[in-house]
Amino acid sequence: MMKFRFRRQGADPQREKLKQELFAFHKTVEHGFPNQPSALAFDPELRIMAIGTRSGAVKIYGAPGVEFTGLHRDAATVTQMHFLPGQGRLLTLLDDSSLHLWEVVHHNGCAHLEEALHHQPPSRPGFDGASGLPSLARITVVLLVAAGDLAALGTEGGSVFFLDVPTLTLLEGQTLGPDEVLRSVPDDYRCGKALGPVESLQGHLRDPTKILIGYSRGLLVIWNRAARCADRIFLGNQLESVCWERSGRTLVSSHSDGSYAVWATDAGDSPTTQPTVATTPYGPFPCKAISKILWRNCASGEHFIVFSGGMPRASYGDRHCVSVLQAETLVTLDFTSRVIDFFTVHSTRPEDEFDEPQALAVLLEEELVVLDLQTPGWPAVPAPYLAPLHSSAITCSAHVANVPAKLWARIVSAGEQQNPQPASGASSWPITGGRNLAQEPTQRGLLLTGHEDGTVRFWDASGVALRPLYKLSTAGLFQTDCEHADSLAQAAEDDWPPFRKVGCFDPYSDDPRLGVQKVALCKYTAQMVVAGTAGQVLVLELSDEPSDQAVGVASVDLLQDREGFTWKGHERLSPRTGPLPWPAGFQPRALVQCLPPAAVTAVTLHAEWGLVAFGTSHGFGLFDYLRRSPVLARCTLHPNDSLAMEGPLSRVKSLKKSLRQSFRRIRKSRVSGKKRSTAASSKVGQAAGRPGGATGGKAGLPSLVPLKLQEANAQLAEQAGPHDVEVTPVQRRIEPRSADDSLSGVVRCLYFADTFLRDAAHHGPTMWAGTNSGSVFAYALEVPAAAANSDRRPERAVEAVLGKEVQLMHRAPVVAVAVLDGRGRPLPEPYEASRDLAQAPDMQGGHAVLIASEEQFKVFTLPKVSAKTKFKLTAHEGCRVRKVALATFASVACEDYAETCLACLTNLGDVHVFSVPGLRPQVHYACIRKEDISGIASCVFTRHGQGFYLISPSEFERFSLSARNITEPLCSLDISWPRDAMRASYRPQESPKLSQANGTPGVVLGPQSRSGSPDPTRSEGTDTPELPEATLSPTSVDSATSADTTLDTTGDVTVEDVKDFLGSSEESEKNLRNLSEDEARACPILIG
C-alpha cells in the first residue's frame, strides 16, 4: 500500500547545537617531509629553519611541535629565502622575480605566519616609466645587509639593485650597474664582453658597507657602498659560488670546472689574478661544477670547507654529494637524491672570533640530513620530525589509538637499539627555536605505514611532530637477490673518493613481492600481522631480547582444488630455512602462505582467540597461530572471474577490460532506461484513452486508480503549500551490478565478533567476511579455552561452521562489517572488556550487524539477519563509499558526553558522519579533491574522530572531524622588532584570517583585496559556505603541496577508483538526467 511521505521543514535547534559541540572540520597539520623542496633558510639567532617548495609553500620549523605554514598566492617556485635575523621575518624570492615578506605574528598568545608585503619589480624597460622605478631583469641572488633593513638584489643583467625591506620598495640612485664596475677592471679583461649575471652576493660580518659581488664570468669585486668604489678586484674562472671568511681577510670561490680557489683580501695589489690556493679536489680528470662552497674557521686552525658537487664527470657524475674537508680529513657524503641547499649551525655574534661550526644541515630533494660536526666521525643526528615517510613507497597505513604505556616504552626501546646514539651529549637536534605551547597528549597514538620494500614503520602520531620510533623489516625472512647485489656494489667501490652513504631515502625495492599490503596490531598483547603482495601473512610478537629461531611455514590453498583456474601471476617468496637471527623488536612466530600467491586484500587479528583471518582476490582463510594449523579456507571466485588469476603483472590488460565492461554497462543502462520510459508512457496513454463502463469491466478499474491518486495528491499539495512540507529527496536509480563482474571474488573486509549468530540465547565467537560482489559470510567459531597462564592451545582444534550468508541486492562491494551491542555501540576490541579497559558490551539486548557497502549502509538484526534500517548514500548523494570507520566524538561543552558515529569517505573526497545505529546524516565536509585518487585511497580514520591521508608521496595531511579532539600547532617565538614605528607605518590593511589552502589554521594566504570582506565562518552543519572568490588561491581546494601531484603507488587504488575518475563527468550527466526524469514523473504524484 502506498503512503504519503512528508517531512517537516527545519531541524531541531537543540540537535543542531549538539552537532556544533560534537563535530567540526579542520585540516590541522601536515606530517612528513615537504614535497619538492626548492629553497632553504636558517635564522641563527632564533634557531629556526624555513623550507620553500615548488608549489609556493613556506614552512618554518623550530623545536619539535613548533611549525608555521604559509602559501604564496601564486603557485610559483620558491627559489630563495632569507631570514631577517632575530625578527621572525622571512624574505622569499619566487621564480617570477617577485619578492614577499612574511612575518610571524602573535595573537592570543600563539604565533602564526602572515604574508605582510609583496613586490613585483618591473621587468621590461618602459613598462613602468610613469612610476619612475628602475627596470629589473630576472633576480638571481638576494643579500640582506644592515641588520636586514636593506637588501641587495643581483640580476641576470649584471646590475645590483637595493631594496628597502620594511616597505619592499626599490631605492633610487643606489643601483650599481655593470658599467660602473667595469671602470675598475683592467682594459685587457674587458675585451668587449659583459660580466655576466650576478652569481653571488656576500656581506661583511663586521663592516656592512662592504659587499662582495661575484659575476658569472669570474670577476670578484669587494664594493664599498659608502665610497661607491671597488676596494679589491679578483680575476678568476667561470664562477659558481663565493664565501667570505668571518674576519674578511680571506674569501673562497668555487668554479664550474670542479675547482675552488682561496683569495687573500689584505695582500697584494688590485686587481689580483692569482689566488693563494687553487685546487681541484677530485681531479685531475674533468669534474662537475662546485655549486656552493662554505668556509668556517675554528680556534684550532683546522678550518672546515664544505661544498656540493665537484665529482669526476665520467665515473661519478650522477652522484649527489656534499664534501666536508677539515685539515687532512675529507668525507664525501653520498646521498640518494639531489642536493637542494645546505647550511652550518655556527656562531654569528660579531664579538666571536671563530665560527666553530656545530652541525651541518643538508636539504635534499627527498629528505633532510643533519650531521654533528663536534663529535668525531661526524655522525648523523636523528631528526625528531621531517622524517621521509616515503623512504620506500608507502603501500598501506593504519592507526592505533590509546597505546598502553608499557607497549609504548617497549617499542621505543626497540627503536633505540636499532639506532644507538654516540656517548657524546653534543649529538642533539640543532634547530630548537620557539616554544611548543600545546599540552602533552592525553593518549599515545601510533601510525603504522607499510612500505614497498617489506618494512613497517612505527610513528609517534600523538602530537604535531610525527616522530619515527621503530622500523620492522620482513625481508630477512625471505630469499632475495639483495645480498648478491650488495656484495657486487661493495666490490666495485674504490677508496677514492671516500664515499659515505648518508640518509635513509631508498626508493628501490629488492623485490616488489615484499611490499606490505595490510597490517594489524593488538596493543594489549604486542602481537601483529603483516600481509604482503605475494600472499604472505606473517604473525609477529614483540620481544625485548634478540633471539635465534626458525619460523614455521603453513600453506593455505584458497582455490580448494577448483578446476579450470590457472594462476598466471608472480611466484611465491621462498622463505629461509633453519634458525635465523632476529634483533630485539617484533619477531616472526608463524608464516602463512596463501595459494595462489596473490596480494592480500584484507586481514584481521584476534589475539584473545589466537586467530588471524586473511583474504585475497580468490577467497579467505582462517589460521590458528597458537596451534600453527589452518582452520578454514573458502573460495569466493565466480566461475567467470578469470581476471583474478592474472595477477598484478597484467593490470594494463585488466584495466582495459574493466573499462570496456564499464562502458558496456553504461550503454546498456541507457538503452534499458529509454525502453522503460517509453513503455511506461505508452501504458499511461493506453490507460487514459481506454473507455470505462460496462465494456471495461474490472479491466478498466486499475486505470482509474492512478487518476484518483493524482487528483488527491494535487489537492493535498495545494492545501499544504510549499512552506509547510518538504518532499523527501528523489533517489537516483542504481543499476544492479552483474554477478560475473571482474574481480568479484576479492575479499574486502574481515571482522571478528562475539555475538549471537545461531540463536538469540547463546552468543559466541564469529567471523565475518565481505566480498567485492556484495556477499557477506558469517561463520560461527568453536574456540576452546586456553590453559591458565599458557599461550598454548589445548589439543582440540578450532572449528568454523557457516552460520549465515547475506547477498546484497545491488551486489555492491562490502567495505566494512561491524557488530553493535544491545545499546547500539560497537563491540570492544579483544582484551578490552576482559581486562576492564573498556565498558563491557550489552549481551542482554538484541545485537545488530552494520554492513557498509560502496552504495549504502544497512543495519540487520541478529541472529535473524532481518533489515532494521539503512541509508542509501549513492542514491541520495551520487557518490560511492571508499573508507568507513566507527569513531567516538566527545563534546566540547560536556566532558562526560560522547557519541559513537560512522565516518565515511566517498570517492568524491567528501567526509560524511552518520549516527549509529540510526544511520541519520549528521554533517558532511569537502575534504580531499576528487581527482586525488591516491589521497582518497590512502585515508585512515582514527577512533577519536581524526584522520590522515597522503597529499604527496612524502606527506600526510591530518584532519579532525571532532570539535574537541584536535591536534594542531600551538607555539610562540621570542622575536624582537628594532623598528616598530617603521613596521606600523608601512603595514598594509589587514586581511581577514582564512584557513590556508592546506587547512592549517592560523595561517594567512597573504594580502588579499582591500574590499574588507567579512570573516568566513566554519560550517558546523551539512552545508559548507564557499569563501569569497577574491580570497582563494589557485590551489585552495587542497594542500599547497598537493597541487598537480600524482602518486605512483599509494594505498589501495582499485579499478573502481579509476572508473570513478575517468567516468565522473559522464556519470554525473547520467545522474542529472535520471534525476530530472524522476522529478518530472514524481513531483505531480507525490507518492514515495
Q: CA 106 to CA 108: how far, in whole Å?
A: 7
pLDDT tens digits, residue range 319-371?
Answer: 999 999 998 899 999 999 999 999 999 998 888 889 999 999 999 999 999 99
Nearest to 902 by CA among 880, 871, 928: 871
Nearest to 940 by CA among 908, 907, 910, 905: 905
For the packed helices 651-689 and 701-720, what is the interaxial angle rounded to 10 degrees?
100
- DSSP string over 760-824: SS--EEEEEEEETTSEEEEEEEE-PPPPTT--SPPSSPPEEEEEEEEE-TT-PPEEEEEEE-TTS
Cα distances (Å, whole numbers) of residue 348 to 50, 202, 294, 297, 352: 18, 14, 14, 12, 7
- Three-class DSSP category at 485: helix
Q: What is the mean pLDDT of residues 869-884?
A: 93
Q: Indicate left, alpha or beta for 436 from its phi (over 0: left) and psi (-120 to 50: alpha).
A: beta
For the packed helices 1055-1062 and 651-689, what is the interaxial angle rounded to 10 degrees?
60
- Which residues on adjacent β-strands are paired with residue 446? 400, 460
Q: CA 673 to CA 1074: how far, in whole Å?
A: 9
Residue with cell 571478528: 752
The whole-number pLDDT of residue 325 equals 95
Strand stretches in 865-1009, DSSP E: 867-872, 881-890, 898-906, 910-915, 921-926, 940-941, 946-952, 955-962, 971-972
For the ranges 266-270, 655-659, 667-671, 989-993, the lowest mean pLDDT is seen at: 989-993
pLDDT tens digits, residue range 751-781?
Answer: 999 999 998 889 999 999 999 999 999 999 9
Q: CA 883 to CA 953: how far, in whole Å?
A: 20
> What pairing do the DSSP bridges indicate for beta strands 139-145 and 150-155?
antiparallel
> Is the N-terminal amide bond of 969 cis, ω within 30° of 0?
no
Q: CA 306 to CA 412: how far, in whole Å?
A: 35
| pLDDT band for position 736 (cuts 50, 70, 90) | low
Contact between residue 1061 and residue 662 where contact means Cβ atoms under 8 Å apart:
no
The whole-number pLDDT of residue 703 equals 39
pLDDT higher at 380 or 5: 380
- Three-class DSSP category at 414: helix
Helix, strand, coil tally for the chain in percent (to 5): 15, 35, 45
The whole-number pLDDT of residue 812 equals 94
- DSSP string over 254-299: EETTS-EEEEESSSS-SSB-S-SEEE-TT-SS-B--EEEEEEE--T
> Is the N-terminal amide bond of 271 cis, ω within 30° of 0?
yes
| pLDDT band for position 272 (cuts 50, 70, 90) | confident
Nearest to 901 by CA among 881, 885, 924, 877: 885
| pLDDT band for position 12 (cuts 50, 70, 90) | confident
User: What is the identity of the amino acid at 909?
Assistant: G
Q: What is the mean pLDDT of residues 905-928?
A: 96
Nearest to 943 by CA among 600, 525, 411, 444: 444
Contact between residue 309 and residue 316 where contact means Cβ atoms under 8 Å apart:
no
pLDDT tens digits, residue range 569-626?
Answer: 999 999 999 999 999 999 999 999 999 999 999 999 999 999 999 999 999 999 999 9
| pLDDT band for position 744 (cuts 50, 70, 90) | confident
Nearest to 151 by CA among 203, 104, 116, 198: 203
Whether 1021 has a pLDDT exceeding 50, the answer reads no
- Three-class DSSP category at 10: coil
> What pairing do the DSSP bridges indicate for beta strands 467-473 and 499-501?
unpaired
Kindly state the percentage of the chain with pLDDT values over 90. 58
pLDDT tens digits, residue range 436-471?
Answer: 999 888 899 999 999 999 999 999 999 999 999 999
Nearest to 610 by CA among 830, 881, 452: 830
The whole-number pLDDT of residue 781 equals 96
The phi and psi torsions of 541 (rounded to 5 degrees) equal -140, 145
The whole-number pLDDT of residue 978 equals 58
> Is the N-terminal amide bond of 863 cis, ω within 30° of 0?
yes
The whole-number pLDDT of residue 273 equals 80
Whether 1023 has a pLDDT exceeding 50, the answer reads no
The whole-number pLDDT of residue 121 equals 81
Contact between residue 119 and residue 168 where contact means Cβ atoms under 8 Å apart:
yes
Helix (H) or strand (E) holding 110: strand 110-119
Nearest to 513 by CA among 620, 607, 395: 395
Q: CA 705 to CA 693: how far, in whole Å?
A: 15
Q: CA 109 to CA 215: how far, in whole Å?
A: 46
Residue with cell 623545536: 63
Q: CA 434 to CA 45: how far, in whole Å?
A: 11
For the ranges 12-21, 244-253, 332-341, 664-673, the lowest mean pLDDT is seen at: 664-673
pLDDT higher at 42 or 249: 42
Nearest to 319 by CA among 307, 336, 305: 336
pLDDT tens digits, residue range 943-991?
Answer: 999 999 999 999 999 999 999 999 999 999 988 765 443 443 344 433 3
Strands of the sheet with 799-807, listed across from one edge: 747-755, 764-771, 775-782, 799-807
Count of residues making up the chain:
1088
Whether 786 has a pLDDT exceeding 90, the answer reads no
Strands of the sheet with 629-635, listed across from one edge: 602-606, 611-615, 619-624, 629-635
HEC per residue, 510-545: CCHHHCEEEEEEECCCCEEEEEECCCEEEEEEEECC
User: What is the identity of the amino acid at 1080?
Assistant: A
Q: What is the mean pLDDT of residues 148-168?
A: 92
Q: What is the mean pLDDT of residues 545-549?
A: 94
- Three-class DSSP category at 682: helix
Global pTM reads 0.82
pLDDT tens digits, residue range 287-326?
Answer: 999 999 999 999 988 899 999 999 999 999 999 999 999 9
For the packed helices 651-689 and 1064-1082, what is the interaxial angle rounded to 10 degrees?
20
- DSSP string over 135-161: P---EEEEEEEGGGTEEEEEETTS-EE
